[in-house]
Amino acid sequence: MMRLRCGGSAVRFAALAVAAFALGGPFPALAEESEAPPTVPAGVTLVEVVRELQASAAQMLWTRLGDEEGRTLLFAEDYRTGGAACVAACAAEFPPLPAPADAEPFAGWSLVRRPDGRLQWAYQLRPLHTWSREEEPGEVATNVGLAETANLKLAERPEAAGALLPPPGWRVARFEPHRSIAAPDGIEARLVLSAQAVVLTDFAGFTLYAFDGDAADDDQGGCSGGGCEARWRPVAAPALALDVGDFSVVSRADGSRQWAYRGRPLYRYRGDLLPGDAHGRDADPRWRMAVLTEGFRPPRVAVTALEGYGDALSHGGMTLYSGSAFQKYWGGRNLRDSFKNAWRRGKRLGGDACADEDCLALWRPFPAPADARSTGFWEVVERGDGTRQWAYKGYALYTYADDEAPGQNRGQATYSFAKPDGGPDDIERAVWLAELGDTYGGAGVYWNVAKP
């Protein structure tokens, strides 16, 4: 039993199940992605909190948890001894994040049974709540990020910092997978977007891999001699390193020491040039990423490498795109990670980046089924005609009619200009897009390949 408080009144309720907070969470042995547990429960979203800058890409701050609509999730700072029970009037102001009756704990996610018998999700032992005072989804988390970076120069509307901050005793729930696993110095659990998963990385953020072939005749996990180490670099362990949790030290034939996870030696792929790369995923079918949890993605969606643009999302091999309202940016928009947009702008745009017949002849919405749920970075948008569409990181996704074969990206860096000299509907749309993009020197939609 756990004794928790809310507004000074003590209540008792049972912890149905508790996933590990720092030690020994139910992460699997390094398995195929399809065998890994999910990164978040269905209906729980991930949102990048950014600070928008004047005429340049937004500054990434951290990733937070949201409910199915993207509302900020909070937890009580005194969740171990109080606050988290939150019943009666408290629960009216801070509604608990519900879990289905058949939910099971996994990988940092646990469950608590509330006094009324219903289940509530907890992340790293912290029961999660929304806040009734938040009017626009995510504004509380955004304001926290603005307040934390209040001394940042060239920021747009810094007066927005602190407009609506969590009340005393409550904090924004950040997605921090490294806190759910015990790891030695130099190895972390990180969300790698090109992997669409939480994977093991080294200290610099480079993806780690393990051998998946027949290693019965090779005590080095399938990589010793024969030029293997020209591509796969063993993750070295210090001379005095000791085992930590599921991490152990193995000795190699040359006398060096190497880190292993649940008995599988770990490697870095030399073809990964920057932190967050996951090019080793396709280098050799006998090798796989060190996946801990698999991020949700719709069926047939993959991460595809596009020459000149890096990784992009695709559906059935066809490149996916997102449209965003014109914004003022210095420099090029086609370089790696040089064109990012705030999640809130995409949410406001919804499925209206492309809504008229002329536009829809070129840009085809990526449909979401009737039973689809927003989960992770993937959200469901309802279009004006009542159909449903997938969105990624807040922005509705489309394929391009002139892409005739998988891997083509002919719709990249194209513009759909608004018509300020047209009819009333055209003028209204031009004004709306200008306000959405905070730019009045022109209005329209810029189309960009969907980056993971």
For the cut 80, the answer to whether the pLDDT of residue 208 exceeds it is: yes
For the cut 90, the answer to whether the pLDDT of residue 289 exceeds it is: yes
Listed in sequence order, the residues at least 6 apart from 299 whose beta carbon sits closer than 8 Å to its beta carbon are none
- Whether 109 and 100 have beta carbons less than 8 Å apart is answered as no
The CA-atom distances, in angstroms, between 96 and each of 38, 41, 257 are 21, 15, 47
For the cut 80, the answer to whether the pLDDT of residue 225 exceeds it is: no
The predicted pLDDT at position 216 comes to 41
For the cut 60, the answer to whether the pLDDT of residue 148 exceeds it is: yes
For the cut 80, the answer to whether the pLDDT of residue 24 exceeds it is: no
The CA-atom distances, in angstroms, between 113 and each of 20, 83, 302 are 17, 15, 37
- Higher-pLDDT residue of 367 and 435 is 367
For the cut 70, the answer to whether the pLDDT of residue 34 exceeds it is: no
The predicted pLDDT at position 3 comes to 29
| Average pLDDT for 329-345 | 69
| Range scoring the smallest mean pLDDT among 128-142, 234-248, 327-341 | 327-341
The predicted pLDDT at position 372 comes to 97
For the cut 90, the answer to whether the pLDDT of residue 192 exceeds it is: yes
The predicted pLDDT at position 209 comes to 96
Average pLDDT, whole number, for the chain? 84
Beta strand spans in 114-164 (E): 119-123, 126-127
The predicted pLDDT at position 277 comes to 93
| Average pLDDT for 336-343 | 70
The CA-atom distances, in angstroms, between 256 and each of 154, 220, 238, 268, 336 are 49, 11, 9, 16, 37
- Whether 306 and 449 have beta carbons less than 8 Å apart is answered as yes
Tens-digit pLDDT profile for residues 107-141: 999 999 988 899 999 999 999 999 999 999 999 99
State which amino acid sits at residue 148: E
| Average pLDDT for 231-235 | 91
- Give residue 26's Cα distance to chain centre: 20
For residues 23 and 245, what is the distance between their CA atoms, to the nearest angstrom? Answer: 7
For residues 128 and 122, what is the distance between their CA atoms, to the nearest angstrom? Answer: 5
> For residue 342, how many other CB atoms are within 10 A of its CB?
22
The predicted pLDDT at position 81 comes to 45
| Range scoring the smallest mean pLDDT among 54-58, 285-289, 297-301, 317-321 | 54-58
92: exposed, middle or buried (C-beta count within 10 Å: 0-12, 13-18, 19+)? exposed
The predicted pLDDT at position 89 comes to 66
State which amino acid sits at residue 42: A
- Give residue 43's Cα distance to chain centre: 13
For the cut 70, the answer to whether the pLDDT of residue 420 exceeds it is: yes
For the cut 50, the answer to whether the pLDDT of residue 14 exceeds it is: no
The predicted pLDDT at position 332 comes to 58
- Whether 130 and 71 have beta carbons less than 8 Å apart is answered as yes
State which amino acid sits at residue 197: A
For the cut 80, the answer to whether the pLDDT of residue 96 exceeds it is: yes
The predicted pLDDT at position 406 comes to 94
Query: Which single residue is written with the structure tokens 């969590």?
Result: 166
**Residue 379 region, left (φ>0) first, then alpha (ψ -120 to 50), else beta?**
beta
Of residues 327, 363, 393, 25, the one with CA closest to residue 176:
25
